[in-house]
Amino acid sequence: MRDMPRVSQEHLDARRRQILDAARVCFVRNGFHMTSMQDILREADLSAGAVYRYFRSKDEIIKAIAGSALEEFTSSYDELLAEATDLTLNGGIDGLIDTMSRYHRTHDLPKLIVTVWGEAMRSPELAAMYGLFTERLRSLLTTGGERLEKAGQLPEGMTPDGFARVVIGVLQGNILQMALMDADPEVFRTNLHALLAAATAPARPKGAVVGPQEQQ
């Protein structure tokens, strides 16, 4: 009897990605609880045996997708910080928004993250995973805030940790708007830059008269 040919690691990785990509489509379309394993099998065009070889349950697929999406997002910002030798406030914000826009186009990330938020309310394990992601993102943003502080680019009175917490709050609000209202990230970018410009502008003396150029 001849030995069965060995399956390459590349094939195994590709099949796992095929399953996760199919599940991601189903979860974004129907949510976690309204998606069955049969839905995932049909979307992936695979047999039950092929899928269960990689994942024993839908919960395992949910955790894998959530972990992958969150890891991709934080890794992207980690790379941005590593590559930016002359980090600016606007440049850092642009990097975050660029990441969100890219995943919005390719993976529908905002809808997936909002779905994860809902599931995290019921699943302590998923809540812990999202908590670790948030802490990692806060740590990265705090590092960015420290660099901005040294460059004199943080708004007066704001600490690097405070900067990180505010940015996370703003990002979460934008994620929700993108998921529920298909908000345009570019509109968000424009208005956030305007808000940051006002926050970092020198304070105008009380009673100062606004000149014609400033009124335009």
| Positions in the chain short of pLDDT 50 | 1
- Confidence (pLDDT) at 211: 55
pLDDT tens-digit map of 80-107: 777 777 778 788 788 888 877 877 777 7
Report the distance separating Cα 17 and Cα 65, nearest Å.
10
- Confidence (pLDDT) at 142: 94
Report the distance separating Cα 79 and Cα 96, nearest Å.
11
- Confidence (pLDDT) at 213: 53
What the chain holds in terms of domains, given with CATH numbers, is: 10-56 (1.10.10.60), 57-198 (1.10.357.10)
- Confidence (pLDDT) at 29: 92
CA atoms within 13 A on the CB side of 2: 3
- Confidence (pLDDT) at 1: 46
- Confidence (pLDDT) at 27: 92
Neighbours of 142 (CB within 10 A): 18
Report the distance separating Cα 22 and Cα 44, nearest Å.
5
